[in-house]
Structure 1
Amino acid sequence: MTGYELAQKLHAVPGTRHAVFIAHTGYGQMEDKRLSSESGFAHHLVKPAAIPDLQRVLADSPRPG
């Protein structure tokens, strides 16, 4: 199972429908980013992700409740 497939399946599980998924991958081509977005990832970070990029993604993500 790929990360794309996992994100799609998790979005279908009750209680995770609004979860924020972040792709952290070694693949950074436009096609990879498009697939991440289409699969339900809110963000796509390419390894190694810089700490400021990770902080920005986390700060921009909605909080539960």
Structure 2
Amino acid sequence: MGRSVLIADGFADAADSLAELLRLFGHFPYVARSGPEAVELAAAHRPDAAFVSLHLAGLDGYGVARAMAAAGCRPRLLVALTGRGAEADRAAAAAAGFDRHVLKPAEPMELVRLLDGLA
């Protein structure tokens, strides 16, 4: 069964490529290019999952996670998709409410498996 998935990444090529991959696996992606847009899309579509870059314009990924929780639209699976992999970055992501911390460039099938795990 396909999942609705929010992809929040300011890099258009990365976001669009991930969206296309997820479509090929039967999922329904929504793409946001900024933090505020990510929160807006999450509130409007209530996605099952979200892959959120920590570097977003207007509101960083940590702020997006907190804002979604405060607005009651936090997805069941919230993944920080980032190039920042230090232990302090992982701890900050967990404190903001992320379930997983995946380093870029992510293995595409790892992301698909995460969505499959929502069954």
TM-score (norm 2): 0.45
Q: Name the aligned partner's letter for residue 71 of structure 2.
A: V
Unpaired runs of 5+ residues, structure 2, are 1-58
Q: Deviations over 1:6-64 (max 9, x none)?
A: 110111113x14x1211111101111111111101111111000123212322233x5x
Residue 29 of structure 1 corresponds to 86
The separation in 2 between residues aligned to 1:48 and 1:25, in whole angstroms, is 8
Match of 1:50 in 2: 107
Q: How many residues align?
A: 60
Secondary structure of 2:65's match?
Answer: helix
Please identify runs of 4+ aligned residues in structure 1 that moved more than 3 A: none
Give the percent of matched residue pairs that are identical in Structure 1 and Structure 2: 32
The structure having more radius of gyration, on CA atoms, is 2
Structure 1 stretches lacking a partner, 5+ long? none
Q: Which amino acid aligns with 1:32?
A: D
